[in-house]
Amino acid sequence: MTKIVFLDRSTIGPSVTVTKPGFDHQWIEYDRTAPERVIERLKGADIAVSNKVPIRRDAIEALPDLKMICIPATGYDAFDTAACKERGIVVSNVRGYAVNTVPEHTFALILALRRSLVGFRQDVIDGEWQKAAQFCFFNHPIRDLAGSTLGIFGEGVLGQEVAKLGQAFGMRTLFAAHKGVEGLGPLYTPFDQVIEEADVLTMHAPLMPGTANMISDREFGMMTRKPLIINASRGGLVDEAALVRALDAGQISGIGFDVLTSEPPQPDNPLLAILDRPNVIVTPHTAWASDEAMQTLWDQVVTHLENFHRGEPSNRVV
């Protein structure tokens, strides 16, 4: 009988119907798993299901029965894919499930910041509207999206969907060329040009050595349009300390982040010190997590498990 162990059930929302594969199996799940308990909990398992619990080389070498790792997410940097390849372990991820939820969350951040919704909401709570001598007041900037420029870092399915929403709002959309790379073709606008011309910059790229801290002090110094900076992709694409410095210096007009370099954030994360500002919104890595998207994600997981059991593994990254 195939033994399947799900290491972090709590990373999938309670609204999701966690169906099981149709083949004969033993299913064991844990809400959370500390890294030091991975080997213990996966002992004898044929298949590991893990969203964010790392499975590194030491674990892979200590688990001779392990044949597959199924990741209920697109990113797989928590897993030692080289060690899996050496052992012949199949690694499958899910893709395309967030095609609506992440772009919608991205624009929720953009619209809230562009129209200063957080600041005005707080003003009403604080009684500022009630004290006003007229029907409205102008404590915060309000800008339309129509006619503005949206710079997008990442030209995959999520970046493409964000571009469609931007165009629906009447925005000019630019896909940034990869930093330091030329000759990518007509889809792309040079990296520095996007930095200089955009009113909103939004991240939809994977975190890799070439993209880590790709927006830092140099780039902030070039931002003549004082753009909003949005990240609903991966923590680490933007240098967070430089981001706060840029906000303090007036080089950017606002921050909308759903991801941070360490999650949950460490007490010394510089963004935690500015959360009370009206032009700062940080959400707890929930852009991907609409009810519809999470159910689609889980349905893909079950499909991958069944395909692997049938000898036809799908969405292989290894």
The catalytic residues are 234, 263, 285
* CA 295 – CA 292 distance, rounded (Å): 5
Task: Count the helices and strands in the chain (H runs, E runs).
Answer: 11, 12
Strands of the 280-282 sheet, one edge to the other: 188-189, 172-176, 149-153, 200-203, 228-231, 254-257, 280-282
> 68 is written with which tokens?
């597959």
Determine the Cα angle at 186 with ends 182 and 187, to 5°: 95
Indicate the helix (H) or strand (E) that contains 68: strand 68-70
Judge contact between 24 and 66, C-beta under 8 A: no
CB-based contacts of 70-74 (< 8 A; 24+ apart in sequence): 70/301, 70/304, 70/305, 70/308, 72/11, 72/12, 72/297, 72/298, 72/300, 72/301, 73/288, 73/297, 74/98
Reading phi first (left if > 0) and then psi (alpha if -120 to 50, else beta), residue 176 is in beta
